Structure 1
């Protein structure tokens, strides 16, 4: 799986050929500009630490 493999895109580029693994790029008509693609803002939200549950001890009653 590398340069000499003609079934991969890397092999197609090495051999200067096109095929299913490396399709030809379609050209757009002159004068039309592609709309810029906006990247999604990735925010990392820090979660609050989970509250620890404290076991309630019941007092043993003697009868």
Structure 2
């Protein structure tokens, strides 16, 4: 179990591959970073749309 073992994280790093032992998502997203803040809409400024009546042709 070392560099050549593709089932270990060390082997995945050596072979430059990803898998269960070395998930790709952990590499792209840094640990401990917060997600982008969610912008909430103002509750008092909701605009209601008029209902459009469809006529039969």
Asked whether the two chains share a fold, i.e. TM above 0.5, the reply is no
TM superposition score category, shorter chain reference: 0.3 to 0.5
Q: Which has the higher helix share?
A: 2
Which protein shows a greater Rg? 1
> When the two structures are superposed, what TM-score results if normalisation uses the length of structure 2?
0.45
Q: With the length of structure 1 as denominator, give the TM-score of the two structures.
A: 0.41
